[in-house]
A and B are shown apart, each in its own frame.
Chain A
Amino acid sequence: MRMDNGRIILHIDMNSYFASVEQQANPFLRGKPIGITGKNQERSVVATASIEAKKLGVKTAMSTWEAKKICPSIILWPGDPEKYADIMHRFNAIYRSFTEHVEEFSVDESFLDLTEEAQDYLGATCMAQAIRERVSEACGPHITASIGIAPNRLMAKLASESVKPNGLTVVRPHEVLNLLDQSDLEDLCGIGHGIREHLSQLGIESFQQLREFPLERLMEEFHGYGLWLHEAAWGREVVQEPSHTSEPAKSYGHSYTLPFNTNDPVVLKRYLLGLADKVAWRLRRDGVAARRISAHVRFADFSGHGEQRTSIEPITDGLRLFKIAWQILAPFLQHAPVRLVGLTASLISSDPKRTSLFKKEQHMQSVLSSLDLLQHRYGSGIWKRASTLPVEFKSRSSGFRFDHEL
């Protein structure tokens, strides 16, 4: 654990990122309320609303029907994750040309530690302007960013979010309390609705009241998080030292919202098998195998069911993953139409690549190796099982990862 001493942190947040990229690409979308959705728009959510749509009340993660109700003129536009990923790599490369200390917080937000490179806040401000110009040149003038500069990540993020779009807010160490006192508790990254409610029950409605609240009582109420809240109220950030070794994945999973609710076992089997093949491909690609399989469904009424099974043998074959997942789910699928299916493989170990004693399994291993070579060469989606031909998995745009880069 460490505290921030004399650091200069820049937080950069692309404004309405996916929507801005589409407005850069397509001039007929500029100045209009647009919402970036999944490919199946009726059952999707707004992944990003344009600045114009936000002004009319559309919010991120709002369902498309709700967005249409609030803003009938909204143009719903299917997301293009590969485009957003390519632009993201472009601006991240620009950040790394200014400092090697770049932390990618999400697909469109990063923290840059400029303590050494900028030396002071004036230097950091000049670097921020230079970053903004370089991003505009490389990505286009309609892709804009809000920037905050402060002594730690928490305050830098709060600063960047205080002026949107295209803001540049500098908060020096002696100004952090002022920034906090002008902000609502929920404006701070780390205080969500639940914590806000809990604080409210304790009579805390502002950062000033949070500062004055005894630390011991905060610790009683929030345990370890009480210290974090106390420090945050003083504009300080309690940071866990980052691990310098990249940890291997603990699980591999996929879920998918079906284009229509159904309890037709044939349709559900097709989607589940397709998901199992996706998971199995990633396991084999990373040279690992899984022994625990979890499967879950969400029903039309948003209730759900999920269970897990543990296998003695490590698994890398999609068909075997599917069979276990289907055993888990089949008894529960008569209750109600299903909206979403999902499958996760965990208890990961390196794949021993043992040759099976059984001829049929040997053939399957050999076929999968050949299919993997094809997939490496031509990309995922180059093959699918005949039984999954009628189903199509459409790509999604999420704020935290891109499916095609998994």
Chain B
Amino acid sequence: MHELLNDPIDVIVSFKDNRVLPHAMRWNERDYKIDNVNLVHSAREGTKRVFYFSVSDAANYFKLKLDPELLEWRLVELYADG
């Protein structure tokens, strides 16, 4: 199942070596532990740069969007295996 979303989420992160590492997220009143950060990329929205984190747990792939101006996280894509 592949879904495109744009839902605000809460994310627990750590900062290390000028990098942001998401560890867990809360979406739809449910907590998800992030097992792997598979890819991080950025994109421009006009003069603003936003960051996308492609992460996964044992059963789901999530694409998270970080707006560094608003310090806001959103879940923009979900893929569940099977």
Contact = CB atoms under 8 A, between A and B. Distances in A.
A375 B46 contact: yes
B68 to A, nearest CB: 15
Contacts of A139: 39
Nearest to B43: A82
A28 B79 contact: yes
A107 B46 CA distance: 22
Nearest to B82: A28
B44 A26 contact: no
B45 A21 contact: no
Contacts of A379: 44-46, 48
A376 B48 CA distance: 10
B45 A378 contact: yes
Nearest to B63: A25
Interface in A354-373: none
B54 A376 contact: no
A10 interface: no
Contacts of A27: 36, 38, 56, 61
B41 A82 contact: yes
Contacts of A375: 46
Given A26-B79, A27-B56, A28-B81, A86 B43 contact: yes
Contacts of A378: 45-48
A254 B38 CA distance: 34
Nearest to B36: A27
Given A27-B36, A375-B46, A87 B56 contact: no
A21 B48 CA distance: 24
A376 B45 CA distance: 9
Interface residues of B, number: 19
B61 A87 contact: no
B6 interface: no
A21 B61 CA distance: 14
A29 B82 CA distance: 11
A25 B54 contact: yes
A202 interface: no
A382 interface: yes
Contact of A83 (B2, B44, B52): B52
A56 B78 CA distance: 27
Contacts of B45: 378-379
Nearest to B51: A86
Given A26-B56, A28-B61, A378-B46, A140 B39 contact: yes
Interface of B: 2, 36, 38-39, 41-48, 52, 54, 56, 61, 63, 79, 81
28 contacts: A24-B38, A24-B39, A24-B54, A25-B38, A25-B39, A26-B38, A26-B54, A26-B79, A27-B36, A27-B61, A28-B81, A82-B41, A82-B43, A82-B44, A83-B52, A86-B42, A87-B39, A87-B41, A140-B38, A140-B39, A375-B46, A376-B46, A376-B47, A377-B46, A378-B46, A378-B48, A379-B45, A379-B46
Interface of A: 21, 24-29, 77, 82-83, 86-87, 139-140, 375-379, 382
Given A24-B54, A25-B39, A378-B45, 6 more contacts: A26-B38, A27-B56, A28-B61, A28-B81, A378-B48, A379-B45
